[in-house]
Amino acid sequence: QKEVEQDPGPLSVPEGAIVSLNCTYSNSAFQYFMWYRQYSRKGPELLMYTYSSGNKEDGRFTAQVDKSSKYISLFIRDSQPSDSATYLCAMRDAGGTSYGKLTFGQGTILTVHP
Amino acid sequence: EPEVTQTPSHQVTQMGQEVILRCVPISNHLYFYWYRQILGQKVEFLVSFYNNEISEKSEIFDDQFSVERPDGSNFTLKIRSTKLEDSAMYFCASSERRAGEAFFGQGTRLTVV
């Protein structure tokens, strides 16, 4: 079983739709969860950073973490064509012998069409 | 807004040659990382660096790879003898704290011919 699984899509939605992106993971030591947006041939851009279970909202973006199910989500409200990109989930464990190594999902390709 | 900068943006090199990829992390950050992304694949961890030494590395990071922080601002990744399969995007990242947010540079696209 892969440590982090993410449906690669592609996902195509009309402008204004609510987008739901998800990742599952198998390593129960993961405590910190991030979502990145990546445009073609560019670096990952940090969107959301959450610790443990719960919700976090930032503008049109909401991140959810359910540690009991080992499942994280990113919701994008009122999606815009400029949101078209690859969305990467990433996670890391709480410390110990880890020095912040991130484990990434495959990435989901999102297209928002006008 | 502070950012991680990487140079060059694109490097083409012959197989067997040495390459050095350069990064300037965010100035108050203490943890530095290199990741790579082969076209169409996941972003993969290579190495983390803290307090002037390697703190963690992956199986990919073999003896052909090395990292250095030659001064107070630069962080470099050296590949001694490049192979075709080293062709990838290489990303530098930095964090202020071990468990803090990691910010990535725009990457260096390495093409080995």
**pLDDT tens track of chain B, all 113 residues?**
789 999 999 999 999 999 999 999 999 999 999 999 999 899 999 999 999 999 999 999 999 999 999 887 899 999 999 999 999 999 999 999 888 889 999 999 999 99
Taking CB atoms and an 8 Å cut-off, how many pairs form between chains A and B?
A: 71
Q: Which residues numbered 37-56 in A keep a CB inside 8 Å of some CB on B?
A: 41-46, 49, 51
Q: How far is B31 from chain A (nearest CA, A)?
A: 8
Instruction: Record the tokens describing residue A20, joined without a space.
Output: 């739901």
Instruction: Record the tokens describing residue B72, joined without a space.
Output: 């107070």
CA distances to A30, A105, B5, B69 from B33, rounded to whole Å, are 18, 18, 13, 11
Pairwise CA distance, residues B14 & B87, whole Å: 11
List residues of chain B with CB under 8 Å from any CB of chain A. 4, 6, 31, 33, 35, 41-45, 48, 50, 55-56, 58, 89, 91, 93, 95, 98-107, 109
Q: Does B101 contact A49 at a Cβ distance shorter than 8 Å?
A: yes
Q: CA A104, A105, A106 angle in degrees (round to 5)?
A: 120
Q: Does A43 contact B106 at a Cβ distance shorter than 8 Å?
A: yes
Q: What is the DSSP pairing of strand B10-13 with strand B108-112? A: parallel
Pairwise CA distance, residues A90 & A88, whole Å: 6
Omega within 30 of 0 (cis) for the link into A10: yes
Is residue B21 within 8 A of residue B109, CB to CB? The reply is no
What is chain A's pLDDT, residue by residue, as a tens digit (114 residues)? 679 999 888 999 999 999 999 999 999 989 999 999 999 889 999 999 998 788 999 999 999 999 999 999 999 999 999 999 999 999 998 766 667 899 999 999 999 999
Which residues does B8 contact at the CB level (< 8 Å), separation at least 6? B22, B108
Of B90, B112, B102, give the one whose Cα is nearest residue B23. B90
Of B6, B31, B42, the CB nearest to A104: B42
Residue of chain B nearest A30, judged by CA positions: B99
Average pLDDT, chain A: 92
Is residue A36 within 8 A of residue A47, CB to CB? The reply is yes
Residues of A in contact with B6 (CB under 8 A): 43
Q: B113: exposed, middle or buried (C-beta count within 10 Å: 0-12, 13-18, 19+)? A: exposed
Q: How far is A47 from chain B (nearest CA, A)?
A: 10
Of B15, B28, B33, B13, give the one whose Cα is nearest residue B77. B33
Is residue A103 within 8 A of residue B45, CB to CB? The reply is yes
The pLDDT score that the predictor gives to residue A84 is: 97
